[in-house]
Amino acid sequence: MNHEIEKMAGFLEITPRKIDELLDRYDQILSLFKNVEFKKRSNLYLIGNGSSGEGARIASFLALDLFGKVPYCITPYQFTHYSYVALTDKDIVIAISQTGTSHEVVESLRLAKKAGALTIAITTIANAPVAEVAEIPVVLPECKENVDYKVVGVLGQLYGLWMVILGIALANEFINDKQAESFLLEFRDLNKHYKRIADQAQEWTLDHIDFLEQFSKLTVLGSGSLSETAMELAIKSIEVQNRFSMAVDTEEYLHGICAADPKGNLVIMLADIETAPYSRKVYDSIKDFGQPVVYFGHNAPEGNLSVKLLDSKYFSTTLIFPLVHGFIVAWAKAKDYGADGAKVFEFYQNRLKVREDMKK
């Protein structure tokens, strides 16, 4: 087995334990924000690239409901070149970076501080540049991984971001102590199902490996926050398998992309309890049209990857990530994928100097 995939499989195995360790610090993390003010004229900016950007967009649904206003979810480049000029001293900027060294993320925090906004960083390393620059660093050592294809950190940082949002909401009486406790109980309950779903995904993948190997391309569909887990699956497929993959919001797919039917393409539909009725109609339509399609998630048709999910208004993605990662790990292990992605990362990161140095 490829060394990177062996490490990725190991992190997949320990993810639920690491998430439990992170949840043990729930009260401590929420308390970091006890003096943070979120006013009527405040805006919330969530900044991240890659899986950190996915997490920002997923967490924005919770922030919208709690604060009654839409957060700005933007890339570091967009922020540092355009959006920062709109900042005021009433705004809050949260930057998410697993390594904490991405130059544009660090620069986002520097510009936000200069504008007088409150700066918060979520990272896995205490002495990372983002933690040094931010006024409130939220360090999640439980999520640190020495692997190019991240697993623990993808989900752990999302939990961390949810906790930051809940901490700000609690400090400003958008929720009370009892509600904060109920969110923690829901987190713990969801995490109990991680291993079961990851195992089911791996078993299904190995049983269908010959079918999957027919396809050189993947188109992954999801609605709502699942459009971000679709992105995670597509990106991981590109990184690990060097297989051309794309993620599309299900409605966007139906507004034009469905007309494309490239040779060797497999459509993967992701569905949770909320999106299942609509997703099933789309799945049936794709199948009836004659395009290859599989369905992953709640109440899947026979022969597809069906997993029992919990009904969660904000956090259903926690049950789709183990499905996505289990699927990628099992496929890579079976066919010994994973050798090239890390080399490509290293080339571009060194060539473009995208990271800042860590302090000694």
Q: Helical H runs in 208-340?
A: 209-212, 226-241, 250-254, 276-289, 317-335
Q: Is the pLDDT of residue 360 over 70?
A: no
Angle between helices 317-335 and 226-241 (to 10 degrees): 20
Give residue 261's pLDDT. Answer: 79
For 175-193, how does the pLDDT look when each residue is reduced to its tens digit (9 = 90+)?
A: 999 999 999 999 999 999 9
- Cut 0.85: pTM above it: yes
Give residue 154's pLDDT. Answer: 92
Give residue 289's pLDDT. Answer: 94
Among residues 115, 58, 59, 55, which one has the least CA distance to residue 91?
115
Q: Residues 13, 155: one domain?
A: yes
Of 174, 191, 208, the domain-final residue: 191
Mean pLDDT for the stretch of residues 254-283: 94
How many CA atoms lie less than 13 Å away from 193 in the CB half-sphere?
20
Q: Is the pLDDT of residue 46 over 70?
A: yes
Question: What is the chain's mean pLDDT, rounded?
Answer: 94
Give residue 343's pLDDT. Answer: 76
Q: Is the pLDDT of residue 61 over 90?
A: yes
Q: Residues 84, 209: one domain?
A: no
Q: 176 with 38: CB under 8 angstroms?
A: no
Q: Residues 219, 126: one domain?
A: no
Task: Tell me how many domains the chain contains.
Answer: 2
Tell which wins on pLDDT, 20 or 349.
Answer: 20
The share of the chain scoring above pLDDT 70, in percent, equals 98
In this structure, the strands spanning 92-96 and 44-47 are: parallel
Give residue 102's pLDDT. Answer: 86
Q: Is the pLDDT of residue 29 over 70?
A: yes
Q: Is the pLDDT of residue 135 over 70?
A: yes
Give residue 338's pLDDT. Answer: 85
Q: Residues 265, 227: one domain?
A: yes
Q: Residues 62, 182: one domain?
A: yes
- The CATH number given to whatever domain includes residue 324 is 3.40.50.10490
For 279-316, how does the pLDDT look when each residue is reduced to its tens digit (9 = 90+)?
A: 999 999 999 999 999 999 999 999 999 999 999 999 99
Q: Which domain holds residue 18?
A: 3-191
Mean pLDDT for the stretch of residues 3-13: 89
Q: Residues 280, 198: one domain?
A: yes
The share of the chain scoring above pLDDT 90, in percent, equals 84
Q: What is the rounded CA–CA span in Å between residue 82 and residue 93?
A: 15
Tell which wins on pLDDT, 147 or 122.
Answer: 122
Residue that is written with structure tokens 């639920």 in the block = 16
Q: Is the pLDDT of residue 3 over 90?
A: no
Weakest-pLDDT range from 100-104, 109-113, 131-135: 100-104
Mean pLDDT for the stretch of residues 72-83: 95
Non-local CB neighbours of 10 within 8 Å, separated by 6+ positions:
none
Weakest-pLDDT range from 73-77, 143-147, 264-268: 143-147
Chain centroid to Cα 7, Å, comes to 19
Mean pLDDT for the stretch of residues 209-219: 97
Q: Residues 170, 216: one domain?
A: no
Encoded amino acid at 82, one letter: Y
Q: Is the pLDDT of residue 73 over 70?
A: yes
Q: Residues 200, 132: one domain?
A: no
Mean pLDDT for the stretch of residues 11-24: 96
For 317-338, how does the pLDDT look when each residue is reduced to its tens digit (9 = 90+)?
A: 999 999 999 999 999 999 999 8
Q: Residues 149, 269: one domain?
A: no
Q: Residues 133, 205: one domain?
A: no
Non-local CB neighbours of 185 within 8 Å, separated by 6+ positions:
none
Tell which wins on pLDDT, 101 or 218.
Answer: 218
